[in-house]
Structure 1
Amino acid sequence: MSWMYLIMAGIFEMTGVLMMNKLNKDRNAVSFLLLVAGFGLSFLFLSLAMQTLPMGTAYAVWTGIGASGGAVLGMIFYGEPRNFLRILFIAMVLGSAVGLKLVS
């Protein structure tokens, strides 16, 4: 169950990052509330995951999901560059998260 909490934390981290960009463009209360909710839920699920997972593993996977997910969402929604090397390095971050799961 803790790995599911960690995945949820990563998804909400991506939501928070997406709303951060939206808030910079729109500057309205809804964007701000969604940003706070995204990051708040992210930290909640991260803390639940860390009850049983080692801190280093949980934090590394959470950061990896958030960073790579934010980069992918930027490519999808905001037209950020989609070159081979960028996608390769995102895949390496995700591969590292899977590797941490396999050894813990």
Structure 2
Amino acid sequence: MAWLVLIIAGLFEVVGVLGMNRLKNNKNALNLLMIVGGFGVSLSLLSVAMRSISMGTAYAVWTAIGTVGGTLVGMLFYQESRDAKRIFFLCLIVSAVVGLKLLEH
């Protein structure tokens, strides 16, 4: 269950980052709410997940989900580069997270 909570926390981090991107283009209350709500829920769920998952692993997985998720959102919806090298390095991040999960006790 802690791993599911951690994954959801990472997805809410992506919501917060998306809100930041939207706020830079359109300063309104909804985009500010996306930032505060996304990061607030994300950090709260991260703290719940850390009750069962070690801090180092939980934080690494959480940031990786945010990094990969934010990058994918940028590529899919904001016409950011889809260069093969960029995708390769995203795959390295995912591989590292899988490795951390396999080593977690």
Instruction: Establish whether TM, by shorter chain, passes 0.5.
Output: yes
Percent identity, please: 51
Distance 2:92 2:13 in 1: 19
SS in 1 for 2:74: helix
SS in 1 for 2:51: coil
The reply to whether residue 58 of structure 1 matches residue 58 of structure 2 is: yes
Distance 2:77 2:26 in 1: 15
SS in 2 for 1:27: coil
Shift of 1:29: 0.5
Which residue in 2 is equivalent to 1:83?
83
Shift of 1:73: 0.5
Q: After the TM superposition, which segments of 4 or more aligned residues of structure 1 sit over 3 Å from their partners?
A: none
Unpaired segments of 5 or more residues in structure 1?
none
Count of residues in Structure 1 that have an aligned counterpart in Structure 2: 104
Distance 1:76 1:93 in 2: 18
Structure 2 length-normalised TM: 0.97
Superposition RMSD in Å? 0.6
**1:6-38 CA distances to partner (integer Å, 9 max, x unpaired)?**
000100001111110001111000110111000
Structure 1 length-normalised TM: 0.98
Distance 2:88 2:71 in 1: 12
Distance 1:96 1:18 in 2: 24
Which residue in 1 is equivalent to 2:17?
17
